[in-house]
Structure 1
Amino acid sequence: MLFQRDDLVRINRNEVIIPKGLFRNEKELGKFVRQHEDYLREHLSGSTEFNQAIETDPRKELHETKYKKFDFTAFSLAENINLNLQQCNRLQLNSSVMISKAAEVKTSLHEVLQNLLTIIESGEDPYLKDLKRIILPELRLQLDHNVVDKFWFRLAGSSVWLKDYGVHYMVSRIMYSHRGTRDGPLLSLSYAQLYDQNWNELVGTRLLVPKIRNATGDKQYILHFPQIIPIPFYQDEQLNEYQYYGPEDPRLMLVKNKAGYEEPLVLFNSYRCKMDTFDDDEDDKLVTKERCYRAMSICWPWQLDERKFSKTVELNIENYRLRTQKNWTPFTSHLDRQVDGYDSHIYFVYRWANLDILKCDLQGACSYDYRFNTSLSLENDVGPFRGGTQLINLNDMVAVKDNKEVWAGFARAHIDDCGCGSSMYRPNLVVIIKKRKHSRNYYKVTHISSSLSFDMYVPGWDLLYPQDSCLRSSVLIPNGVSQWVADRDSAGAVVDDYLTLTLSVSDYTVHRINVKGLLKELINWGTFDYDIMGNTHHANDNLVCALQSSFEFCTKYGLEHQLKRKNKNPKDDDGMTIDPKKVEYFKYVQRYELRGAPEA
């Protein structure tokens, strides 16, 4: 059944998709169903269809999309300018690609939250029932008054193409603010959805993860979609309304497991508290005290424990725990896969300027794989470039010589007081190259772009007065590279390539945009021939030039988007336009002494 509402296209089908190649024919599939009848009856209704995935090419949608030219500026390490900003033109590359019109990937939050309420009240889901004290009874009131979208927000969506299932797998952040402010959430959840090759959402579809494809090797799962990923998180015994609970800023990537199959991995940060022992210097005794901090973690959403929660591991840098960890950029190693046969480690860009690279094992122990400046403390600010998408290993797309690896992706620049509101966030294309020599790894950010607009409209922070583009923060954040595929000629040369990027606008949306020809542009730059060992140029030259150019972009953007007519609507204490629906809702909140009422 296909239904469409407000350009939200969904296909409702009671179906289990089985990974391609698992069974040779219908007879083997039927035998599997009969052998697992009890398990399947427990998880499925009698009318469920079992369909083995067939070879599906997502490029058809990419080929049929209309594109237009998009010019941008990047900076290489072509020469040594010794951080002299007056010489940035010597590093500048004036480039262009083709881009599609950005499309919003919409979801009905009212439907999501109505389903969530039903499951919570049933008490059948061990993960969701724990949310009861955080979001009830306010959620019932919000649904009754049809104001869910004033307090719940979906953003930060990233996706990957599951070639063995023929679907896009997307994970986004669903955020709850009992006060209705996007920069003050009480709870964050990770929401997983499936889409077909044309980006129609598949509702009611399940994925079978059989034993042979599960890295744990001893269980099989039927995963229902859409779903809240059961990522465990810390909760105070006494709920603190000023604390942030749950997994934030999910970043999705594909990793190869021990069984030899690709599975999704989610990187996120979350608030945690643990009991730490320390010496208080008062006497000879050690003192135990609860210590709270924000940590980075990785989660395998398809690997479940006995509680049916997803396997999650906290990341720790050489046993040193920072008070706040956020905005790491993940990637995997093509060369490691060749040696180990799977992704035995996950790598992260911890710091872009003065490049720091972390290497983490699957138990969460992290150490430095490279440091540009070994004297910098972990406590030092990471700088304006941070986070962004995962990095795509281009060794999987292009033959790379000389024991090198090349990655590309999109970081984001966070620039304060640059001419458009208090801060601006925009994507920056980045390229990293690694060379291994004498058992050591050396990395460089060889190319980085100025701020990229992708010609997208970015409304202001006040959703009731979006034309005020530079009110408070101007936010366009890259979340993930969903796919990057290439068309080749008979000799194997790249003819065209297509990248799908997901972004969030004003911390309020999930958008996707296709970029055509970026890999060809990187080839034209000579990226794959760059010798980072023979080139002694200062590794921060291009970053400072990109930062200066991004600042200039912000200043120009602010001048072009000056508010022409003052917002005369009444404002709340936060400087936002007063929303009559929220005012009415808060009357009931105060009457029943619920959470979220504005402070007197």
Structure 2
Amino acid sequence: MKGKALVKNRFFVGLFLLVVFLVVNSLILIKKENFNDLQFVDKIGLKGFLTFGKTSKDITKLPFPLSQSLVNSNLFHKFRFKSFKQYSKKDLTYDLSFDDKYCEEMVSDRELSISRDKLLPVDFEILQRNIYSNTFYKKLLEEAVHKHKSKIPIKKQWLRFGGSSVWLHDLQVHYMVSRLIFSPSGVPNKGIFSFLYVQIFDENWNELFQTLKVPEIVRIKQEGYTNDGFNDDVLLKTKLSSQNLQFPMILPIQFEYVLDSPYWGPEDPRIVKRNNPIFGFEEPVIVFNMKGIKLPNRVMYIYTPYSHDIKPLVKKDHSYASTEKNWTPFFSNQYLNADGKGTSKLNFLYSLKPLEVLTCDIDTAICEFVQKVEKDNINHFGSLRGGTQLESLPLNDILPENLRIKFPLGRQVYVGFARTHLNRCGCGESMYRPNLFLLIEDIDEGTGKSFFKIGEVSDFLDFDVQLPPWPKPELDDNGKLIETKLSVCDDKYRSVLIPNSIAYWDINSIKYKGINYPRDQFKQLSESVDSIDDVEFDDYLGVTLSAADSDVRIVHVKGLLNYIMNEPTLFDKKDVVQYDFLLKLSTDFNERCSEMASKEYCVAYGKANPPIISEEEKKKQEEEKQKQKDEKEKEEKEQKEKEQKEKDEKEQKEKEQKEKEQKEKEEKEKAKQEGSKDQGKEGHDESKGQSKDDSKDQVKEESKDKPENKDNQDSNHKNNPEN
């Protein structure tokens, strides 16, 4: 018996030692910086599970979000753009009206280093398996396929874009959520259903197909009323467990739908991360918009994947707009817990133009405005709209105190990429492009009230991305998809590049007096730095983008932190807003200038990318052109004939008028001549009568004189013998 017991004990001791040996060796391997020889579930799953719920004090030893091979590569090139600061003049008054000339005073030429964009595709076969493994999704898709009977390939009916990502230090992965659309027509803006698709990527931005062990928060609730009087489940207890998740995956979010209308399910996801205020580990928080049957409007929702908790966000004391979307999430240090590590409050830029800010409780989903503009139309939103989440500058515990940028007391600066939507501005039916902007929060230390303003906003940024055209599926007589060549500025479609997230932002190294100091030497460096003005940060930021609502891509930006450090207005105490009336002096001139510059970009882009015309379309256009030419020539001919006719008629009338006038003149002359003749005849007759009378008188006179003459003659004859 003793021998058997000894053997048994030795067996268990050996087994115990073997387990200890394996655990110790695993831990040793995990602590190594190079994890290439480990399986992913060990490399990330085990390490992540061992560390979640604990915050590492030495952040400098955590892996950098971007691999050193990418950092050290010739991946980056210079990228120039324009940016517009706040308008700040001494004579700034309430009634100051905008003038284009102010833009010249506010504009700055900026330069950053950016990488080439990298596409982040999906594996269609895995996607299909994931979507049909969910009973609810399988049922509604089968119904939709049966109803719509699409003739295009099934692969063309699935579209994925809007990828929003965060870097999870605990798990050492980029956690990305995208919008997945089922559209029988193949057109992105005519989708029937939307789903949320989650992928994970390593520091090289290669997708990982593995299982992760992640936290699971179990909330025990009972029906009741919240502190605000809302009828809702009351949280009794929160427990921490773990769960194994296979990536990629479809988030299990059920939704209402009606097959006869489109756009059901979660849309436009945005993601932020927080330290869980109870357990301390990093936790992704996802927000999206969704319409339903019970709620009359499309509203915003908040979802925490570690607890599977989903709620619609409610604006306290304010009605829903007809469509609630484009809320820009960000965390403010103002709402951090006493230990400074976690928060239960999430802020939103509700509107950028005009600037309005909400703060929402993550647990209750109740939101209150902390900055609100009174407007007649609650559905009014300007052309500058939400894009990525906002991120604070990466000046966290990784940097010693004396290496952090010093803003005025109570000031926080956030960075984000919005987007401007312009219609018919020179490129296609409409154009969407990102705009870099800075949001400034000034907190009144006495009242705790926050005042927000846009500190700077750029013109259109395209990150040198070669955009794909916006296609419209066309089928031939056999139901086969026709591949057509399109321009990114086709008149029928949109030209779209939308920013989705700031995937990460961190400092890789610091240059001081010509020497580069890596992350693990920051503390050593801080002891020798006299002035932060002599420090140059080697920081990297990743921005995810979607082009033509058909893909997801990543672009890396280098040097943004240095760019911000060189903006003097951010450090000017006189620029701090601590009263409501000062906000009226913080005009939106920079946003107006940005929109003007964006329109100039749009026109130039449209000229550089004219629509592509097919031979058939070209023939139609030529025929139409010839038709228009013929019609024009016909109109010109008719016009000439009309003009000639009018001219002839005019000349004829003039001729007739002249003839009439000539005739009248001749008649007058004739009449005049005849009148003169008659007058002459009468005068002749009178003269003749007078002559007769004179003759008669003469005869009479002669008759009287004849005897006397006869006597004289006789006398003369008598007296002259010759006679």
Alignment TM class, shorter chain as reference: 0.7 to 0.9
- For 1:520-539, what aligned pairs fall within 5 Å after superposition? 520-526=562-568, 528-530=570-572, 531-533=575-577, 537-539=585-587
Cα deviation for residue 479 of structure 1 reads 0.2
Cα deviation for residue 88 of structure 1 reads 0.7
Distance across 1 between alignment mates of 2:309 and 2:347: 19
Distance across 2 between alignment mates of 1:232 and 1:93: 48
2:282 corresponds to:
262
2:297 corresponds to:
293
SS of match in other structure, 1:17: helix
For each residue in 1:70-121, what CA deviation from the matched residue of structure 2 results, as whole angstroms up to 9, or x when unmatched? 001000014357421232111101100000000001112233114433x2xx
Task: Tell me: CA distance 1:508–1:488, structure 2 relative to 1, closer, same or farther (3 Å).
Answer: same
Cα deviation for residue 148 of structure 1 reads 2.7
- For 1:218-233, what aligned pairs fall within 5 Å after superposition? 218-233=240-255
Cα deviation for residue 470 of structure 1 reads 1.1
Whether 1:555 aligns to 2:603 is yes
Counterpart amino acid of residue 450 in structure 1: D
Q: Does the 8 A contact of 1:433 with 1:532 survive in 2? A: no
2:382 corresponds to:
383
Task: Tell me: CA distance 1:434–1:14, structure 2 relative to 1, closer, same or farther (3 Å).
Answer: closer
Cα deviation for residue 422 of structure 1 reads 1.4
Distance across 2 between alignment mates of 1:479 and 1:170: 10
Q: Which structure: greater strand fraction?
A: 1
Larger Rg: 2
For each residue in 1:216-273, what CA deviation from the matched residue of structure 2 results, as whole angstroms up to 9, or x when unmatched? 43432222211101123223xxx33323111101111112212222210111000123
Q: Does the 8 A contact of 2:499 with 2:543 survive in 1? A: yes
Whether 1:503 aligns to 2:531 is no
1:484 corresponds to:
505
Q: Does the 8 A contact of 2:265 with 2:291 survive in 1? A: yes
Distance across 1 between alignment mates of 2:47 and 2:152: 40
Whether 1:417 aligns to 2:451 is no
Cα deviation for residue 159 of structure 1 reads 1.1
Distance across 1 between alignment mates of 2:264 and 2:413: 36
What are the ranges of 5 or more consecutive residues in structure 1 without an aligned counterpart? Answer: 1-10, 25-53, 120-127, 275-290, 304-309, 571-600
Distance across 2 between alignment mates of 1:114 and 1:217: 32
SS of match in other structure, 1:246: coil
Counterpart amino acid of residue 433 in structure 1: I
1:134 corresponds to:
140
SS of match in other structure, 1:456: coil
Counterpart amino acid of residue 504 in structure 2: Q
Q: Does the 8 A contact of 2:321 with 2:379 survive in 1? A: no
Cα deviation for residue 498 of structure 1 reads 0.6
Cα deviation for residue 539 of structure 1 reads 2.5
Higher relative contact order (CA 8 A, sep 6+): 1
Distance across 1 between alignment mates of 2:215 and 2:185: 40
Q: Does the 8 A contact of 1:102 with 1:512 survive in 2? A: yes
Distance across 1 between alignment mates of 2:305 and 2:451: 32
With 411-420 and 379-388 compared, the bigger mean Cα shift is at: 379-388
Task: Tell me: CA distance 1:321–1:145, structure 2 relative to 1, closer, same or farther (3 Å).
Answer: closer
Q: Calculate percent identity across the aligned residue pairs.
A: 31
Q: Does the 8 A contact of 1:104 with 1:512 survive in 2? A: yes
Counterpart amino acid of residue 111 in structure 2: S
Whether 1:105 aligns to 2:105 is no
2:101 corresponds to:
86
Whether 1:76 aligns to 2:85 is yes
Whether 1:234 aligns to 2:249 is no
Aligned partner of 2:439 among 418, 432, 437: 432
Counterpart amino acid of residue 547 in structure 1: E
- For 1:125-524, what aligned pairs fall within 5 Å after superposition? 128-136=134-142, 147-209=153-215, 216-235=238-257, 239-258=258-277, 259-274=279-294, 291-303=295-307, 310-319=308-317, 320-337=319-336, 339=338, 341=340, 342-362=342-362, 363-371=364-372, 373=373, 375-377=374-376, 379-394=378-393, 396-397=395-396, 398-399=404-405, 400-437=407-444, 438-439=446-447, 440-462=449-471, 464-465=483-484, 467-471=486-490, 472-486=493-507, 487-489=509-511, 490-491=525-526, 493-524=535-566
2:649 corresponds to:
none
SS of match in other structure, 1:504: strand
Distance across 1 between alignment mates of 2:194 and 2:218: 33
SS of match in other structure, 2:104: helix
Distance across 2 between alignment mates of 1:434 and 1:13: 41
Q: Does the 8 A contact of 1:249 with 1:268 survive in 2? A: yes
SS of match in other structure, 1:407: strand
Q: Does the 8 A contact of 2:347 with 2:357 survive in 1? A: yes
Task: Tell me: CA distance 1:196–1:567, structure 2 relative to 1, closer, same or farther (3 Å).
Answer: farther
Q: Does the 8 A contact of 1:388 with 1:480 survive in 2? A: yes
For each residue in 1:282-334, what CA deviation from the matched residue of structure 2 results, as whole angstroms up to 9, or x when unmatched? xxxxxxxxx5210001110111xxxxxx2112111124222210111110012
Task: Tell me: CA distance 1:443–1:138, structure 2 relative to 1, closer, same or farther (3 Å).
Answer: closer
For each residue in 1:133-157, what CA deviation from the matched residue of structure 2 results, as whole angstroms up to 9, or x when unmatched? 3211666999999923311001011
SS of match in other structure, 2:506: strand
Q: Does the 8 A contact of 1:267 with 1:297 survive in 2? A: yes
For each residue in 1:448-468, what CA deviation from the matched residue of structure 2 results, as whole angstroms up to 9, or x when unmatched? 000101111112212644541
SS of match in other structure, 1:353: coil
2:10 corresponds to:
none
Counterpart amino acid of residue 294 in structure 1: R
Counterpart amino acid of residue 470 in structure 1: C
Cα deviation for residue 189 of structure 1 reads 0.6
Distance across 1 between alignment mates of 2:84 and 2:239: 46
Q: Does the 8 A contact of 1:105 with 1:512 survive in 2? A: yes
Task: Tell me: CA distance 1:110–1:521, structure 2 relative to 1, closer, same or farther (3 Å).
Answer: same
For each residue in 1:45-72, what CA deviation from the matched residue of structure 2 results, as whole angstroms up to 9, or x when unmatched? xxxxxxxxx9422332441341100001
For each residue in 1:397-454, what CA deviation from the matched residue of structure 2 results, as whole angstroms up to 9, or x when unmatched? 5444411111001000011111111110000001011111241211110100001011
Distance across 1 between alignment mates of 2:293 and 2:505: 39
Task: Tell me: CA distance 1:23–1:251, structure 2 relative to 1, closer, same or farther (3 Å).
Answer: closer
1:40 corresponds to:
none
* Number of aligned residue pairs: 495
Task: Tell me: CA distance 1:506–1:567, structure 2 relative to 1, closer, same or farther (3 Å).
Answer: farther
SS of match in other structure, 2:371: strand
Task: Tell me: CA distance 1:159–1:388, structure 2 relative to 1, closer, same or farther (3 Å).
Answer: same
Cα deviation for residue 568 of structure 1 reads 3.3
Cα deviation for residue 354 of structure 1 reads 2.1
Task: Tell me: CA distance 1:21–1:272, structure 2 relative to 1, closer, same or farther (3 Å).
Answer: closer
In the superposition, the TM-score normalised over structure 2's length comes to 0.64
Distance across 2 between alignment mates of 1:143 and 1:224: 32
SS of match in other structure, 2:50: coil
SS of match in other structure, 1:18: helix
Cα deviation for residue 365 of structure 1 reads 1.1
Q: Does the 8 A contact of 2:150 with 2:184 survive in 1? A: no
Distance across 1 between alignment mates of 2:485 and 2:598: 23
Task: Tell me: CA distance 1:317–1:337, structure 2 relative to 1, closer, same or farther (3 Å).
Answer: same
In the superposition, the TM-score normalised over structure 1's length comes to 0.76
Distance across 2 between alignment mates of 1:132 and 1:113: 10
Aligned partner of 1:63 among 71, 80, 91: 71
Task: Tell me: CA distance 1:256–1:569, structure 2 relative to 1, closer, same or farther (3 Å).
Answer: farther
C-alpha RMSD of matched pairs (Å): 3.0
Distance across 2 between alignment mates of 1:241 and 1:182: 17
